[in-house]
Amino acid sequence: ETGVTQTPRHLVMGMTNKKSLKCEQHLGHNAMYWYKQSAKKPLELMFVYNFKEQTENNSVPSRFSPECPNSSHLFLHLHTLQPEDSALYLCASSQETRNQPQHFGDGTRLSIL
């Protein structure tokens, strides 16, 4: 148990669907992150929230929309995705963004039909 819970674990959706990924951390951390992990590519940072404020948007297409209502919850809203968006989406949290390690959830495996 990592203290970071992601739901759902698997998601299959069509390109015209709208869905959301959810992440919840039980560690009392102040920073939360979304990453995309694709085969044979480095882990790609998508978004960073620090004390509920978005501090990083790594040139992510607007079809991905993050939401951080409080320090414990992070969402990734998805709409009109493309087949190349199929990947493992990982959520992480840390006490702060500098020296402390990030704690990862087990990810959502997303498949776009």
* Nearest-approach distance from CB 90 to another protein, in angstroms: 5
Whole-number Å distance between alpha carbons of 40 and 74: 26
Tokens of 86: 């199929």
* Nearest-approach distance from CB 40 to another protein, in angstroms: 7
CA distances for 36 relative to 28, 110, angstroms: 23, 10
* Nearest-approach distance from CB 79 to another protein, in angstroms: 25
Residues that bind another protein (CB under 8 A): 2, 4, 6, 31, 40-43, 45, 48, 50, 55-56, 58, 90, 92, 97-99, 101-107
